[in-house]
């Protein structure tokens, strides 16, 4: 009987204080693209992001997804030095959020992944000799992969640190790859080159100074729409 009375008291207590709707994520001040993931998007890369997201002002919605270039480089370096544990290394993500458009907020991500001879796609396994950068494109996604030989990292030509910068736009209302494909490439190249320089890779990991000088990308014709589109608050 006491249990029943106590349960009734709990129910009454809950009904007296109905929770309201969840508050939207806290947004920071409006920023220029140079202030988002500082150091990753310079010159052509920054201008390309402005065109892609049709914004000149941006917000940080999650500080964990706002790493500056030095932080990304340290994560890649630590991953390489972890040896066989590289498979479990963190993958830093830079999330770029533009100003709201209708029901959705234009958003793009760049994720960084470290590989070595201990963890890689077998078809692209580092460990023989460092190779030229590789580019892959599918729909609203672009990957740029480079092999880094660096005294700072301890990586060698025989066992390089391999880094992939993977860009994905997550806004269906954008102009898409047919119009923005070169801008996608410019953003990804900018992020990859910034990390290569921060890692002190020999010859910048083979990355050229401009995205237009990258090797031709492998293109997947079966381009799908961008998933996980971000609703505007």
Q: What is the pLDDT of residue 91?
A: 97
pLDDT at 9 over 60: no
**Count of Cβ atoms closer than 10 Å to residue 202 Cβ:** 17
Q: What is the pLDDT of residue 6?
A: 36
Q: Answer with the residue of higher pLDDT: 117 or 121.
A: 117
Distances (CA, A) of 6 to 10, 12, 28, 177: 6, 10, 44, 61
pTM of the predicted model as reported, rounded to 2 decimal places: 0.81
Contact (CB, 8 A) for 142 and 201: no
Which of 9-13, 151-155, 191-195, 222-226 bottoms out in mean pLDDT, i.e. has the lowest? Answer: 9-13
Question: Given pLDDT bands bounded at 50, 70 and 90, which one contains residue 66?
Answer: very high
Q: What is the pLDDT of residue 119?
A: 75
Q: From 64, 73, 2, 14, select the one nearest 39 (Cα to Cα).
A: 73
């Amino acid at each position: 009987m006491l249990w029943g009375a106590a349960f009734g008291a709990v129910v009454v207590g809950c009904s007296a204080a109905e929770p309201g709707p969840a508050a939207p994520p806290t947004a920071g001040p409006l920023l220029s693209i140079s202030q988002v993931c500082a150091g990753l998007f310079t010159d052509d890369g920054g201008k390309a992001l402005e065109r892609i997201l049709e914004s000149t002002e941006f917000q940080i919605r999650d500080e964990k997804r706002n790493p500056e270039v030095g932080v990304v480089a340290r994560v890649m370096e630590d991953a390489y030095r972890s040896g066989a544990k590289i498979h479990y290394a963190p993958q830093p993500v830079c999330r770029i959020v533009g100003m709201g458009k209708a029901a959705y907020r234009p958003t793009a991500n760049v994720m960084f992944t470290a590989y070595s001879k201990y963890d890689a796609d077998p078809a692209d396994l580092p460990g023989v000799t460092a190779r030229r950068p590789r580019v892959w494109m599918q729909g609203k996604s672009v990957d740029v992969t480079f092999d880094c030989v660096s005294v700072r990292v301890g990586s060698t030509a025989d066992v390089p640190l391999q880094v992939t910068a993977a860009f994905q736009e997550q806004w269906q209302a954008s102009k898409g790859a047919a119009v923005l494909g070169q801008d996608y490439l410019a953003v990804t190249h900018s992020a990859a080159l910034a990390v290569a320089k921060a890692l002190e890779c020999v010859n910048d990991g083979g990355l050229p100074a401009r995205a237009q000088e990258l090797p031709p990308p492998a293109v997947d014709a079966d381009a799908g729409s961008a998933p996980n589109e971000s609703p505007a608050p």
